[in-house]
Amino acid sequence: MGSRRLHEACRGPTGRAPADGLRGVEHRDGTEALGAVRIGPTHGDLGPWNLRHDPATDEIALLDWEDYRDEGIQAVDVLNAVFTSLLVLRPEWRERGFGWLFAEAFERDPDLREFIAAGLRRYADETDQEVRALVRLLPVFCVSMIRRIEAQGRSADGMYYGPLLRGLTSREITFEWLG
């Protein structure tokens, strides 16, 4: 499936996402957000390392389709692309840690917050969804990524998803900056 068809599929019907594999989501909004998510084709690992831009045609190609699913929570792809891009935008996280990156993204750095907001707003506008509904899926996104990685026999320790989940569930984040 090409990138254009995957994007167009994001206008698919909403439905109740299966909670299988999401035990452990204890965030006040996370499981409620599953009530009206868009279910459809998902890339499964849509991070900046799996996107290629062709400046000659201005097209974006999606690479690495081994985690593709016919049915999944489509917003997880976008959340993964936006939030793992922070690792590229602020490479100093390697020295300062994931806690630092979390604080930069959610508390201190207005440029990172605007990057997050712009990405989520764009997706929400294109798919007729509410930005705040996407944000409520953040804990679900983290748990689903951790479970996907562990199901492949790999450890998710040392990856961003666990610290992001802990930061989201241990702090009161208002997301007022989303507009």
Residue 57 per-residue DSSP state: T
SS3 36: helix
- Provide the pLDDT for residue 178: 83
pTM of the predicted model over 0.85: no
**Which H or E run contains 82?**
helix 74-89
Mean pLDDT of 87-107: 96
Give 7-59 pLDDT, tens digit per residue.
Answer: 454 444 554 454 444 444 444 445 566 766 788 899 999 999 999 999 999 99
Phi, psi of 60, rounded to the nearest 5 degrees: -115, 130
Phi, psi of 89, rounded to the nearest 5 degrees: -70, -30
Mean pLDDT of 91-107: 96
